[in-house]
Structure 1
Amino acid sequence: MKYAENILETIGNTPLVKINKLTEEVDALVLAKVETFNPGNSVKDRMALKMIEDAETDGRLKPGGTIIEGTSGNTGMGLALAAIIKGYKLICVISDKQSKEKMDILRAVGAEVIVCPTNVEPEDPRSYYSVSKRLSTEIPNSWYVNQYDNPSNAAAHYEQTGPEIWEQTEGKITHFIVGVGTGGTISGVGKYLKEKNPDIKVWGIDTYGSVFKKYHETGVFDENEIYPYITEGIGEDILPANVDFSVIDGFTKVTDKDGAIYTRKLAKEEGIFVGNSAGSAIKGLLQLKEHFGPDDVVVVLFHDSGSRYVGKMFNDDWMRDRGFLDEEITKAEDLVKDHIDKPLVTVLTEELVSHAIERMKKYKISQIPVKDINGFVGSVDETALFRAYVEDKELANKAVREVMQDAFPIVEKDTSIDKVSKLINKDNQAVLVHLGDGKHHIITKHDIISAIN
């Protein structure tokens, strides 16, 4: 009989799968190392087990201990599987930008999950780096994994992932491409492959808001490069010790939108249901296509499973809210389709200004059309109200008709976006679109800006 003694023995030996449709314009053989076949559904299973075993060997992790780690979710899953088999408690400290699915999965396998804010400096006591370190000093018999600086991270990929890729390609690999976060995968695999063949090119995929690409090219850690981004699993605002820049030939950056779109394309066009960083990796590969030739074998690594992004990249509403869906928006009615189900908020001429202000607060809007029994006769907006308030502190008790401005222009639903845009200016903050049957909706500058790709 052939069977594994426990789930940990099934880690590794993941398949290489040829990419076909998405790489039709790439003049090379493109193969994906699909790490979702690991039991924890990500490449992080490899290094999670390696880090735990090395810590057991040298005494950092003792029987019955507590494992503590700051994680984007995947390392936590790998640690959780090992903790279950080996009898440890696990605390995962995770940033709030990570998908709810990742948090739920970690709890499902017995981990305690602590959520920290994303948009704080690494040194901030609230960051998931700082919280992890603090807990490891407060909890008895605990061990802080620190995947960013733990050498066992890169060692796992030097010992396992690199040799697998070399053997699977029979040594014919010419390029290796992978997203860079902690740096363990690219550094471990890159080191092994370059020892086998120094001519192999190793490319890292970075994201906008991360420091890797500029630092690799200039040696400058530019804090101006750091800003919030949506892409999960790759990019950093620190320089982890595991990133060995000497084995990396270059980086290319991929936008949040492109990463999300190509994550969905992999599922719909290749039947490969993988995560956000895989979308960034395949888009990055396409950006690098001029570096490849017909005899090249390009291996791109897909980190994790799409199941962890069902509520994000694979959710149309989430994608639409961020302007990531490539939907054709050409007419006035297209601009309001995302909120067409909501009623048009209006105020009557004889209502008090205080009523208009209350509605602005309640619905979080900046302008309101004014109506009387005959239809739309005026408008009020927060800028005009503010100016009027400076001159008259009793403004709130006045009738709206006393302070209202001209009515917003009304356009038909098939009016072009170009014409709608020209109607909005410093004197006119919005446009009303007639949708038929006496129904109207409002178009603001925000709607037009949101439609810009």
Structure 2
Amino acid sequence: MAAVHESVLDAIGGTPLIRLARLGAGIAAPIYAKAEFLNIGGSVKDRAALSMVLAAERDGLLGPGGTIVEATSGNTGIGLAIVGRQRGYRVIAGVADKASAEKSDILRAYGAEVVLAPTSVPQEDPRHLFNVVRRLVEEIPGAWLANQYDNPANPDAHIRTTGPEIWEQTGGRVTHFVAGVGTGGTVTGNGRFLKEASGGRVTVVGADPESSSYGGGDGSPWFVESIGHYLHPETVEDRWPQALGSEVIDSYERIPDRESLLTARRLSREEGLLVGPSSGAAVAAALRVARRLGPDDLVVVVLPDSGRSYLSKVHSDAWMREWGFLEEDGEGLRPLLDAAGPLVVVAADETVGGALEALRTAPGGVAPAVLARAARPYGVAATEVVGAVSREVLTAALGDGAVKPGDPLGALVGPALPTVGVGQSAAEARAALAGGRPAVLVLVDGRVAGLLPREALG
């Protein structure tokens, strides 16, 4: 018999475990997915939201007529909107500008006010999302910052609810727990409970984007929302969340974006589980872990949120092609990309003379200007391209005395070149050159893999 609840808040938690029979076919260790997208607000963050609000009320930090403010990639904000509005609070969600548009629409539908702000700037920049929400709290009487990244009530939600559910649902047979690492609340809370309940027998694995600095990457951007740790090249002090108990995590599985996104699509098409890209990352990690195990082991993996929030992204063929995540063998721009010369990039803080030297070998005499001061081991993320540098423009500026070789590029950096995905056609690439643009950047897995000048496209 189905449960009967007096409030929507009572419906948070109690999510099922579902065996991944198709993706796990041929693997000795069974893999069970904790379907957190079935929470009332569509994500695992409903649990943390309820826990944080109740703790703030108990501690006198949030009172009648108060305002809840939070920085979020979307899911925690949605949970806070549901909990907060039910309990009579105004809710303001500061949302990362790279989050899917669907999340902002859902927030507004639940009655939250949405403020968009960037996270792709140094943490010290006043425009950074975290600084924007802190200013709101200072300006609004009775405002409380949920601060999921440092709030102990975040992991505590999983110590009290999710972890015990998993232990009971598996009859204490779980041996490996896998979850994505964002604020760290889910992996830390569950990990602590399961380790204690099992006498230390449960192994905790963090699923992390390949370039995220949690698992040892360079901190450059990735395309899986809600997990990982980004490090802007100009950030002075890299702060990790206090909600993350690094000692709980036994190891990380670092998952490339393409593997995460394609696994999310497989989950919907093969398992009937319409989930988001962080679920794809977690399941990709769980599959790697399970392949190393035997039939006496049991893997539990968290599916954090619903794919309904990503219909315009990971579940859109057009979006996947535009960012270079989908391609067919021998089709698209891959043959032209393979025949192109090595990619030349220019750091945006380079000197005019240094840029000209780099442009000597650049196809078409033009190159992308990138944010990074130093070379990124995983290549240049498309979101770190800030403009384009032209040999023609620099030579002219030097010739008329407007600049000297040792001067910074500054205003000589022009608009960014158009981008196309490697799976798109030459015709689509030519269309992107409208307006006399000299070249296109070709993206593979969201990173700039090469430059094709106009003449290379026929």
Structure 2 matches for 1:149-298, cutoff 5 A? 149-197=150-198, 198-214=200-216, 225-237=218-230, 238-298=239-299
Superposed CA RMSD in Å reads 3.1
**Number of residues of Structure 1 aligned to a counterpart in Structure 2:** 359
SS in structure 2 of the partner of residue 39 of structure 1: coil
TM-score of the superposed pair, with normalisation by structure 2: 0.72
TM-score of the superposed pair, with normalisation by structure 1: 0.73
Q: CA deviation at 1:287?
A: 2.8
Q: 1:390 to 1:267 in 2, by over 3 A?
A: same
Point out where structure 1 has 5 or more consecutive residues left out of the alignment.
215-223, 337-364, 368-381, 394-416, 418-430, 434-441
Conservation of the 8 A alpha-carbon contact between 1:432 and 1:443: no
Point out where structure 2 has 5 or more consecutive residues left out of the alignment.
231-238, 338-362, 366-388, 401-421, 429-436, 451-458
Q: CA deviation at 1:452?
A: 6.8
Q: CA deviation at 1:208?
A: 3.0
Q: Give CA deviations for 1:84-137 in whole Å, capped at 9, x if unaligned.
A: 210000000011110000011001111111111131122221111111112111
Question: Which letter maps to 1:200?
Answer: V
Question: Which letter maps to 1:185?
Answer: T
Question: Which letter maps to 1:31?
Answer: Y
Corresponding residue for 1:85?
A: 86
Q: CA deviation at 1:289?
A: 3.6
Corresponding residue for 2:124?
A: 123
Distance in 2 (CA, whole Å) between partners of 1:29 and 1:61 is 44
Distance in 1 (CA, whole Å) between partners of 2:137 and 2:333 is 56
Q: CA deviation at 1:391?
A: 11
Conservation of the 8 A alpha-carbon contact between 2:441 and 2:449: no
Corresponding residue for 1:219?
A: none
Q: CA deviation at 1:387?
A: 9.3
Distance in 1 (CA, whole Å) between partners of 2:221 and 2:395 is 37
Q: CA deviation at 1:269?
A: 1.1
Distance in 2 (CA, whole Å) between partners of 1:432 and 1:279 is 32
Q: Give CA deviations for 1:236-268 in whole Å, capped at 9, x if unaligned.
A: 234111111121111111112221111111101
Structure 2 matches for 1:370-409, cutoff 5 A? none
Conservation of the 8 A alpha-carbon contact between 2:364 and 2:439: no
Question: Which letter maps to 1:194?
Answer: K
Question: Which letter maps to 1:208?
Answer: E
Q: 1:332 to 1:73 in 2, by over 3 A?
A: closer
SS in structure 2 of the partner of residue 314 of structure 1: coil
Q: CA deviation at 1:230?
A: 1.5
Distance in 1 (CA, whole Å) between partners of 2:396 and 2:38 is 63
Corresponding residue for 1:33?
A: 34
Corresponding residue for 2:417?
A: none
Q: Give CA deviations for 1:380-408 in whole Å, capped at 9, x if unaligned.
A: xx978669968999xxxxxxxxxxxxxxx
Distance in 2 (CA, whole Å) between partners of 1:8 and 1:55 is 16
Corresponding residue for 2:322?
A: 321
Q: 1:24 to 1:58 in 2, by over 3 A?
A: same
Q: 1:387 to 1:47 in 2, by over 3 A?
A: closer
Conservation of the 8 A alpha-carbon contact between 1:96 and 1:117: yes
Q: Give CA deviations for 1:356-398 in whole Å, capped at 9, x if unaligned.
A: xxxxxxxxx979xxxxxxxxxxxxxx978669968999xxxxx
Q: Give CA deviations for 1:189-228 in whole Å, capped at 9, x if unaligned.
A: 10110111111100001113322113xxxxxxxxx82222
Q: CA deviation at 1:58?
A: 1.1
SS in structure 1 of the partner of residue 189 of structure 2: helix
Corresponding residue for 1:60?
A: 61
Could you tell me the percent identity over the aligned residues? 42
Q: Give CA deviations for 1:315-369 in whole Å, capped at 9, x if unaligned.
A: 1111001110142234779879xxxxxxxxxxxxxxxxxxxxxxxxxxxx979xx
Conservation of the 8 A alpha-carbon contact between 1:335 and 1:448: no
Question: Which letter maps to 1:204?
Answer: G
Q: 1:46 to 1:329 in 2, by over 3 A?
A: same
Distance in 2 (CA, whole Å) between partners of 1:11 and 1:240 is 24
SS in structure 1 of the partner of residue 215 of structure 2: helix
Distance in 1 (CA, whole Å) between partners of 2:127 and 2:44 is 28
